[in-house]
Amino acid sequence: MPSFLLDPIVITVALGAALLGLTAGALGTFAVLRRESLIGDTMSHAALPGVAVGFLLTGERSLPLMLAGAVVTGLAAALFSLYLSGRPRIKRDAAMGTSLGLFFALGVVALSYAQRMPGAAAAGLETFLFGQAAATLRSDLVLLGCVTLVALGAVSLVWKQAKLMTFDPDFAVAAGADRRVIEAFLTAALAVAVVIGLQMVGVVLMSALVVAPAVAARQWTASLGAMFWLAGAIGAASAVTGALISALSPGLATGPLVVLVATAVVCVALVTSPRRLAQVDG
């Protein structure tokens, strides 16, 4: 066994990457199927002001509080985009783009202010922009593990309603499902997936880890259940592979490598999908 695989830091980062990839990939399935991939980008960028405010409230690096702030601002951005899209002559993609720009600008301003505070350098706030996997601690694994269990468990409880709302929202409403509640739940679940990856991948690249595994899984299966878990497996494998490549090549950031690996899987999926192969055989 290669010696670097026994390094406690590498093991910690790899485990954290696996949990992140599993959660982001699986929950990203609903965003891709509902054609709302940009909402992940919106929430990841909108998480930045929450991180800065979380630091300002304590004056130190408190990951739970910073991530809680990121969830709040991420959801606020999603709700703001929903409000805008409900206005006349404003399409959903334009609303999400507007919300993304507004909240990311607020985040940059808040981050610039926070970095002038004592202890900001030690907190490593700037690492949330592009991620710093090496900063993952064993205590962070407990938080990531709990979030993963809660998020995936919660989705399993409303699986039938989420499935109906994804493929046939009109029938779901006729069957008694509350459309606003289910959509809010799916948005909140996606926000959780985005937020837990901020430290490792960063706000700029996190949306790619949410979307790419689901896109790859969609090429290989037409079943929602299979796509959900396959996307999670692809996300976990891509994240661990990127983390190990980074460990073998000091100086290469983990986040971009994770995204590159996930994108490579998408390319392979596009070439080897059963539908494409059937067209070639025909």
> What does 216-266 look like in DSSP terms, one character per residue?
HHHHH---HHHHHHHHHHHHHHHHHHHHHHHHHSTTS-HHHHHHHHHHHHH
pLDDT at 241: 93
Contacts of 72 (CB under 8 A, 6+ apart): 50
Residue 121 has pLDDT above 60, yes or no: no
162-212 per-position pLDDT tens digit: 888 888 777 777 777 777 788 778 878 888 778 777 777 777 778 888 899
Measure the CA–CA gap between 140 and 129, rounded to whole angstroms: 18
Measure the CA–CA gap between 149 and 240, rounded to whole angstroms: 19
Do residues 49 and 63 lie in contact, with contact meaning Cβ atoms separated by under 8 Å? no
Do residues 213 and 197 lie in contact, with contact meaning Cβ atoms separated by under 8 Å? no
Nearest alpha-carbon partner for 49 in 121, 101, 119: 101
Nearest alpha-carbon partner for 99 in 129, 79, 72, 69: 79
279 — pLDDT class (breaks 50, 70, 90): very low
User: What's the mean pLDDT when you consider all of the chain?
Assistant: 82
In this structure, what token pair is assigned to residue 192? 């959780």
pLDDT at 48: 85
pTM: 0.83
Lowest mean pLDDT among 26-30, 37-41, 126-130, 140-144: 126-130
29-85 per-position pLDDT tens digit: 988 888 777 777 888 888 888 888 888 887 777 777 888 888 889 889 888 888 888
Residue 98 has pLDDT above 80, yes or no: yes
pLDDT at 281: 40
In this structure, what token pair is assigned to residue 260? 């590159």
Question: How many domains in the chain?
Answer: 1
Neighbours of 265 (CB within 10 A): 21
pLDDT at 4: 55
pLDDT at 193: 77
**Arithmetic mean of pLDDT, 19-35:** 88
> What is the residue whose two structure tokens read 């739940």?
185
218 — pLDDT class (breaks 50, 70, 90): very high
Q: Which of 117-121, 128-132, 278-282 has the highest mean pLDDT?
A: 128-132
Residue 264 has pLDDT above 90, yes or no: yes
Measure the CA–CA gap between 70 and 16, rounded to whole angstroms: 18
Nearest alpha-carbon partner for 269 in 4, 25, 13, 38: 25
In this structure, what token pair is assigned to residue 128? 């949330």
CATH number at residue 65: 1.10.3470.10
Angle at CA of residue 211, ends 209 and 217, nearest 5°: 105
Domain residue limits at 43 = 3-281
260 — pLDDT class (breaks 50, 70, 90): very high
